[in-house]
Amino acid sequence: MSFRKIRVASFRNLQDAEIPTDSEQVFLIGENGQGKTNFLEALYYLCYGASFRGQMDSLIPAQGSDRFMLQASWSNGVAGAPLDDEIAVSMKGRVKDITLNGKSLRDRKELVAHNPAVVFCHEDFSFAAGDPERRRFFFDQCAGMLSLGYIDTLRNYKHVLKQRNAALKESAYDLIDVLDPQFVRYGIMLMEERKQLLHKFKAVFAESYEHVAMLGVPVTIEYAPSWPEQVSLDSLFDYLRRRRSEEVVLGTTRSGPHRDKWLFRCNGENFTDKASTGQLRLISLVLRIIEVRLYEERERISGEGPRWPVLLLDDVLLELDLGRRRRLLELLPAKGQGAQSFFTFLPEEPWQDYVDRSTLVYKVNDGRFED
């Protein structure tokens, strides 16, 4: 799927306008603070009904307004195909309405299935250099895009986990006994799906990372579950019972998929402890590229393809030298494959080197778009 045109109203600093985007490649050129990232945020919002910045919706409306509106037309990615979908998001105060072809959506999960996006941004650096929670966030997000069932399982697990933590604080042993079968069942389901995701990433990560970084030694991914692996349900229940007294004292659940870890290894050591900032930055970019390609592979195998998520690349080339920049771009979907990509650039960057006749180029200044 790809965006044909976008309408924005009272969204951040963007001027109210309709902006054509009918191209595989759209470049946004402008100084910092002019609205380039805000436009990518608007696109992401249309795909997921939420911001990738993790901010409250109340901070999004333009200054002096308590509402915003976004509308877009989506195509099915086939050249010359007619517009087939209309998406709209509006918010007034605390009330948000998301409609697809005029029908209100009750669950944002429906958007994930319809037209997902993958954003490449500076905050992704934390996937490699941040705490375990940030890495879990990335892999959970990727798993949810590849399988809507994973979203349901994760929601159910978090719901039971919240109830279990409340029971631990109250020393409600009878309630914990009732919750643990659900806790274990959803937890094991998450572990199994994460192992499958690990297998998919391991098949391509080391080669892709080496292609860009040219480190000379392989960097690999490992998944380290909090619970013991290869155990029976009864053994896992016994494991939780042995830890219960400690958890009651602390008032929180100390083991389970919410404490799983994803690790990057090189020569048997934790790569993130010794890697440079640039090497860690590349990890986050390669992870995103693999996420994009796994989605396309899933769609192709299922018979739905060729179909790509929308790519939103926010100044991701800025910190790369020319060699790494070129090699990273080689991993992205090639022109003509149907993937739509939005890039942001500072004016002094060599963005002209990547333009062709089909590229849409907008100069962004104070929220205004000029071609």
If you write DSSP's letter for every residue of 307-358 in order, what string do you get? --PEEEEESTTTTS-HHHHHHHHHHSPPTTSS--EEEEE-TTS-GGGG--TT
Question: Which pLDDT score is estimated for 111?
Answer: 84
Domain contains 295: no
Mark whether 109 and 28 lie in a shared domain.
yes
- Written as one letter, the residue type at 342 is F
pLDDT in tens, 22-55: 999 999 999 999 999 999 999 999 999 999 987 7
210 and 313 both lie in a single domain = no
Boundaries of domain holding 153:
130-273
Q: List all residues 6 or more positions away from 318 whose beta carbon is below 8 Å from its beta carbon.
A: 346, 349
* Contact of 28 with 342, CB cutoff 8 Å: yes
pLDDT of 1: 63
Identify whether residues 150 and 256 lie together within a single domain. yes
Question: Which of 257, 273, 289 is the last residue before a domain boundary?
Answer: 273
Instruction: Name the phi and psi angles at 35, rounded to 5.
Output: 125, 5
Q: Are residues 247 and 198 in the same domain?
A: yes
pTM of the model: 0.93
Q: Map tokens 């390609």 to a residue.
A: 293
C-beta of residue 223 within 8 angstroms of C-beta of residue 194: yes
| Count of C-beta atoms within a 10 Å radius of residue 309 | 22
| pLDDT at residue 79, rounded to an integer | 47
Q: Judge if 181 and 153 occupy the same domain.
A: yes
The whole-number pLDDT of residue 335 equals 86
Verify that 137 and 267 share a domain, yes or no: yes
Please compute, for residue 218, the number of CA atoms within 13 A of its CA located in the half-sphere on the CB side: 10
C-alpha angle with apex 14: 10 to 84, nearest 5 degrees? Answer: 80
In one letter, which amino acid is 155? R
47 falls within a domain:
yes
In three-state form (DSSP H/G/I as H, E/B as E, the rest C), the secondary structure along 44-73 is HHHHHCCCCCCCCHHHCECCCCCEEEEEEE
How would DSSP label each residue in 63-128? TT-SEEEEEEEEE-SSTTPPP-EEEEEEEETTEEEEEETTEE-S-THHHHHHS-EEEE-GGGHHHH
- Are residues 55 and 173 part of one domain? no
Q: Is residue 181 part of a domain?
A: yes
121 found inside a domain: no
Longest dimension (CA), the chain: 68
Which regions of the chain are under pLDDT 70? 1, 76-83, 304-305
- CATH at residue 221: 1.20.1050.90
What are the residues whose beta carbons fall under 8 Å from the beta carbon of 143, sequence distance 6 or more? 150, 193, 194, 197
Look at residue 281 and tell me if it is in a domain: no
| Per-residue model confidence (pLDDT) at position 41 | 97
Q: Which of 225, 251, 273 is the last residue of a domain?
A: 273
Is residue 301 included in any domain, yes or no? no
Phi and psi angles of residue 336, each rounded to the nearest 5 degrees, phi first = 95, -10
